[in-house]
Amino acid sequence: MKVVTYDETSRRDIQTKDYLSIVRTYYGSILETFEGPQAFLVDMPNEGSTIHPHFHDIDQFQVIVRGDGRLGPGPASPVAFHYADAFTPYGPIIGAKDGISFYTIRAACSTGYFPMPEARHKMPGKPGRNVAGQFDINRPLPAAGQHSRERLLEDTKDNVLVVGLRMGPNAKAVGEPTTGGDQYYLVCTGTLSQDGKELPPLTLIRLEHGEATPNFTAGPKGAEVLIMQLPKATERIGSDPAKLAQRDFGTYELPPGMVKN
């Protein structure tokens, strides 16, 4: 298990013709190819910032944690989540008045940004899953010492899973067994305690397949945690990190108007 708090991330500012994004990297890096997992937080602070419809060559989660706007055809505000299979178009992502911030979480890096409809010929077949949902952080927390969990997305054929964990003050709870691919735990509100370390909001915890289920203790004001499990490896293209490591790690395909600096 690896734990990264917001204050432990690195920052990179990126400008395109459509948006400014302030990127905080938790795992891996951005705008380049490498072996290993990838997770980063994108803050687009300006109204009207737009990421146009596109796809990637890797399964991924995205989670809205600040601001509001649109994700695809519907509105999006904290804490909205989105799962897309590899080679499945989604979007646009549009920031409203106060902009929008979201995590992108993958078991391996993407080799680029493939805009639609221009890159349709690079899709190896029909699109896969493109699923959105909401973890309601405005509901009351359980009583002190108590916790509850809500299954928000579950696909048993390859064990994609999203669970919302709500913990009352000082409550103890276990996570979810690692039955699929990599798991990520995002602290949405409150604080957790893990091995004597306080984990504030925007902490991201990663577990690999087969790791022991973690135990957590909420802080004095409780906590809300979004648990996401990527799919287990199958023959579906883009689902197996071992096969993804065999891709051509040459030129990264940048979004239109972006200059790599």
In a domain, 234, yes or no: no
CA-CA-CA-CA dihedral for 196, 216, 108, 229, to nearest 10: 180
Residue 111 and residue 149 in one domain: no
Q: Which residue segment(s) compose the domain that 25 sits in?
A: 7-133
Give the mean pLDDT of 99-116: 93
Q: What is the pTM of this model?
A: 0.94
Structural domains of the chain, count: 2
Give the mean pLDDT of 172-199: 93
CATH of the domain at 223: 2.60.120.10
Which of 104, 133, 162 is at the close of a domain?
133
Residue 82 and residue 146 in one domain: no
Residue 120 and residue 190 in one domain: no
Which of 106, 133, 160 is at the close of a domain?
133
**Are the C-beta atoms of residues 173 and 165 closer than 8 Å to each other?**
yes
Choose from 15-19, 54-58, 105-109, 200-204 the range with maximum mean pLDDT.
200-204
Per-residue pLDDT of 15-59, as tens digits, reads 888 888 999 999 998 887 788 899 999 999 999 999 999 999 999
State which H helix or E strand residue 244 sits in: helix 241-244
